[in-house]
């Protein structure tokens, strides 16, 4: 018996005695898998579980065979093992597939993944913005994509110039003094900025006394984690009912033990902190530093400069603000900009324009300043640098400003389109680039934030960010980005209105509690998936012997 790809399906070496029996087993397993959408998704179930172009794809171990490879070269005649008897004696059990089978497997998997190129991706705090193909094209130019970090500096002058230029743009957009490009994500940038702050405090001889970092309740989890990781004691700044951080609350916590505040602006509730300048002044007056989490910089590029607000260190998620989407669209890049007070402590390596061209300052001893060390083995994410600069140059200063304005406009358009049905925890006031709803509107409906998210999957949308920030009950954080058209936003709003009305009228509760119905997988037990993840494939029990 052949499987749907026309070959015996069960790898003998996995102990399945009869390939045909194995196939029957696999087919039965596929068809009996209640978590598959095909299992109960209509009155015309298919044998394979596929629904036309919506294909079921087993694990590569389940479709592979040991006697097949995509490319197989004969051993040379004069081959002599040179491993002194240490060579492998048995097959290691990797699944073998022909080239078309391999292509199909990965293409099918990719089609099960929702991406920004598939549709609107409203994940708040993650900025899934369109990455223009131009930026992708530039990043793939061989002079950028094929360079090696250990190449002689004279052969990578163009790449270094690009890094230097990107740094210059970041400093101009933020009005800061120094930039460290190497951190590889937002959280890594936080670590870099906080290590510069720590180095500055130690240089002042206050390393032992200033050990507290203030972090508002609404902060991203990476903020307290970063501070704690490098030995600071984290003190929360309590949340207020309106979502803002107030200078009087900060002042109450200030003392000679405070090293810094880590404040996100715009904050994770999608609001611009109105007292940010006053907070910066209070922090500086107390001899501490202001770390700004700049992950949401995409809301204010060209509108406000962190340097003008009193920021000492801020990371910029290049992957959120300047092109590539966050997360699966990775990799990330989290350059850190530093104020004049902190610039001597920026880490190595950095690019410097020398007499003979651009130089890489690689060692602390080669820097005139006092770098705290290095964050990465090499120089950071070259591909991200290229995408970011390409984004900046293709937009220009007016275009970047407009992107921020459009991101804010789009979030407010969604707020206005849904505020009569869904509840806004801080009142119906303008937001920045993302709009935050809570679950008060779902009270007594028996439908939860999670149910709404799952029903959105059936509607063809990736869910919004759920249950973050933690200061809001049942949070639903929606960030449409500037990339979406009015038509796309209108359809999204209409879909959410339809879901909201169905949830509140209670007419079709199953639409929520059983969702998703149409995804390749039905709803999983998320607690079990998180606590007891099955990360290893185990060959099925030998069918023939089990039957005896």
Ligand X SMILES: Cc1ncc(COP(=O)(O)O)c(C=O)c1O
Q: Is 226 in the site for ligand X (CB under 6 A)?
A: no
CA angle 249, 218, 473 (to 5 degrees): 115
Q: Which CB sits closer to ligand X, 296 or 404?
A: 296
Q: Closest residue to ligand X, Cβ-based? A: 186
Instruction: Work out whether strand 336-338 and strand 313-315 pair parallel, antiparallel, or are unpaired.
Output: antiparallel
* Per-residue CA distances from 292 to 338, 345, 372 (Å): 10, 17, 19
Residue closer to ligand X (CB basis): 101 or 190: 190
C-alpha neighbours within 13 Å on the C-beta side of residue 354: 15
Residue 357 phi/psi, 5° resolution?
120, -160
Q: How many CB atoms lie within 10 A of CB 208?
A: 8
Q: What is the nearest approach in angstroms of ligand X to the Cβ of residue 447?
A: 27
Smallest gap from residue 181 Cβ to ligand X (A): 15
* Of 223, 216, 229, the residue nearest 186 (C-alpha): 223
Nearest to 220 by CA among 328, 292, 324: 292
User: Between residues 122 and 334, which has the closer beta carbon with respect to ligand X?
Assistant: 334
User: Considering the rule CB under 6 A, would residue 343 count as an interface residue with ligand X?
Assistant: no
With CB under 6 A as the contact rule, the residue among 185, 292, 382, 489 that binds ligand X is: 185
How many other CB atoms are found less than 10 A from the CB of residue 163? 26
In the complex, the smallest distance separating the C-beta of residue 174 from ligand X, rounded to whole angstroms, is 16
| Residues numbered 106-125 forming contacts with ligand X, rule: CB under 6 A | 125
Nearest residue (CB) to ligand X, 290 versus 512: 290
Q: Would you say 27 or 225 has its CB closer to ligand X?
A: 225
Q: How far is the CB of 28 from ligand X (least distance, A)?
A: 42
Residue identified by tokens 């679950």 is 439
**β 336-338/178-180 pair status:** antiparallel
Residues 320 and 298: beta-carbon distance below 8 Å: yes
Residue number with CB closer to ligand X (185 or 280): 185
Give the three-class secondary structure for 65: strand
Question: Is 163:172 a contact under the CB 8 Å cutoff?
Answer: no
* 182 is a site residue for ligand X (CB under 6 A): no
Rounded CA Rg of the chain: 27
Tell me which stretch binds ligand X (CB under 6 A): 3-11, 185-193, 359-367, 522-530. Answer: 185-193
Name which of 10 and 477 has its Cβ closer to ligand X: 477
CB of 222 to ligand X, least distance (A): 5
Distance of alpha carbon 524 from alpha carbon 254, whole angstroms? 46
Site residue total, ligand X (CB under 6 A): 16
CB under 6 A: which stretch of 39-47, 179-187, 207-215, 414-422 binds ligand X? 179-187
Do 316 and 293 meet the contact criterion of CB atoms below 8 Å apart? Answer: no
268 makes contact with ligand X (CB under 6 A): yes
Contact in structure between 390 and 165 (CB atoms under 8 Å): no
Are 317 and 294 in contact by the 8 Å Cβ rule? The answer is yes
| Ramachandran region, residue 180 (left: φ > 0; alpha: ψ -120 to 50; beta: rest) | beta
Give me the least distance between CB of 269 and ligand X, in Å please: 11
- The residue within the footprint of ligand X, chosen from 10, 159, 163, 187 (CB under 6 A), is 187
CA-based nearest residue to 467, from 125, 116, 115, 119: 125
Cβ(457)–Cβ(101) below 8 Å: no
Q: How far is the CB of 187 from ligand X (least distance, A)?
A: 3
Number of H helices, E strands in the chain: 17, 12
* Distance of closest approach, residue 325 Cβ to ligand X, in angstroms: 11
Residue 298 vs 339, nearer CB to ligand X: 298
Among 30, 126, 178, 411, binds ligand X (CB under 6 A): 126
Based on the shown chain and the rule CB under 6 A, indicate whether residue 293 belongs to the binding site for ligand X. Answer: yes
Q: Is 468 helix (H, G, I), strand (E, B) or coil?
A: coil
Contact set for ligand X, span 307-336 (CB under 6 A): 317, 326, 332, 334
CB 277 within 8 A of CB 145: no
Shortest distance, position 320 Cβ to ligand X, whole Å:
7
Interacting residues with ligand X between 204 and 223 (CB under 6 A): 220, 222
> Kind of pairing, strands 289-293 and 258-264?
parallel
**Among residues 186, 270, 383, 542, the one that binds ligand X under rule CB under 6 A:** 186
CB of 387 to ligand X, least distance (A): 15
Closest CA to 439 of 538, 512, 338, 535: 512
Q: Which one of 135, 218, 264, 339 is in contact with ligand X (CB under 6 A)?
A: 264
| Closer residue to ligand X, CB minimum distance, 167 or 270 | 270
CB of 384 to ligand X, least distance (A): 11
Gap between the Cα atoms of 197 and 203, Å rounded: 10
Nearer to ligand X, 55 or 265 (CB): 265
Contact present, 280 and 309 (Cβ < 8 Å): yes
The region of 132-140, 252-260, 288-296, 436-444 touching ligand X under the rule CB under 6 A is 288-296
Report how far apart, in Å, the C-alpha atoms of 233 and of each of 257, 287, 480 are: 10, 17, 36
Stretch that binds ligand X, among 18-26, 245-253, 293-301, 399-407 (CB under 6 A): 293-301
Q: Which stretch binds ligand X (CB under 6 A): 28-36, 137-145, 181-189, 484-492?
A: 181-189
Residues that bind ligand X (CB under 6 A): 125-126, 185-187, 220, 222, 264, 268, 293, 295-296, 317, 326, 332, 334
């Amino acid at each position: 018996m052949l499987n749907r790809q026309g070959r015996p399906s069960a790898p003998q070496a996995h102990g399945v005695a009869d390939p045909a029996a194995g196939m029957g087993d696999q087919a039965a397993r596929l068809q009996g898998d209640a978590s598959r959408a095909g299992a109960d998704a209509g009155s015309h179930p298919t044998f394979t579980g596929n629904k036309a172009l919506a294909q079921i794809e087993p694990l590569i171990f389940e479709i592979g065979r040991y006697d097949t490879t995509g490319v197989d070269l004969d051993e040379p005649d004069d081959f002599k093992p040179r491993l002194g008897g240490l060579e492998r004696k048995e097959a290691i059990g990797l699944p073998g597939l022909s080239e078309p089978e391999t292509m199909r497997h990965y293409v099918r998997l990719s089609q099960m993944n929702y991406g920004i190129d598939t549709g609107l991706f409203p994940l708040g705090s993650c900025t899934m913005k369109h990455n223009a193909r131009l930026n992708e094209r530039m990043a793939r130019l061989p002079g950028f994509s094929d360079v090696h970090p250990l190449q002689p500096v004279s052969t990578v002058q163009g790449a270094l110039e690009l890094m230097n230029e990107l740094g210059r743009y970041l400093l101009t957009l933020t009005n800061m003094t120094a930039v460290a490009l190497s951190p590889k994500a937002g959280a890594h940038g936080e670590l870099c900025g906080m290590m510069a702050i720590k180095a500055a405090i130690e240089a002042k001889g206050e390393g032992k006394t200033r050990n507290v970092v203030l972090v508002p309740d609404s902060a991203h989890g990476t903020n307290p984690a970063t501070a704690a990781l490098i030995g600071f004691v984290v003190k929360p700044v309590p949340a207020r009912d309106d979502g803002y951080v107030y200078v009087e609350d900060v002042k109450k916590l200030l003392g000679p033990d405070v090293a810094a505040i880590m404040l996100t602006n715009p904050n994770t509730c999608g609001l611009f902190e109105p007292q940010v300048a006053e907070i910066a002044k209070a922090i500086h007056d107390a001899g501490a530093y202001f770390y700004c989490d700049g992950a949401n910089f995409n809301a204010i590029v060209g509108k406000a400069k962190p340097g003008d607000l009193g920021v000492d260190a801020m990371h910029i998620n290049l992957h959120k603000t300047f092109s590539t989407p966050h997360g699966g669209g990775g990799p990330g890049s989290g350059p850190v900009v530093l104020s004049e007070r902190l610039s001597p402590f920026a880490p190595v390596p950095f690019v410097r324009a020398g007499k003979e061209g651009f130089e890489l300052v690689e060692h602390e001893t080669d820097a005139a300043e006092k770098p705290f060390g290095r964050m990465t083995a090499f120089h950071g994410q070259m591909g991200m640098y290229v995408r970011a600069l390409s984004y900046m140059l293709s937009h220009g200063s007016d275009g970047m400003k407009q992107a921020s304005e459009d991101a804010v406009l789009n979030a407010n358009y969604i707020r206005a389109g849904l505020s009569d049905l869904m509840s806004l925890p801080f009142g119906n006031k303008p937001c920045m680039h993302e709009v935050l709803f809570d679950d008060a509107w779902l009270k007594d409906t028996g439908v939860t934030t999670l149910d709404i998210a799952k029903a959105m999957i059936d509607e063809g949308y990736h869910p919004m960010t759920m249950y973050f920030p933690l200061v809001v009950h049942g949070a639903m954080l929606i960030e449409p980005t500037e990339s979406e058209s009015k038509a796309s936003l209108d359809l999204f709003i209409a879909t959410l209105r339809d879901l909201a009305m169905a949830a509140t009228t209670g007419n079709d509760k199953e639409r929520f509690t059983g969702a998703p119905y149409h995804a390749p997988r039905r709803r999983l037990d998320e607690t079990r998936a998180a606590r007891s993840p099955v990360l290893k494939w185990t060959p099925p029990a030998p069918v023939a012997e089990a039957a005896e």
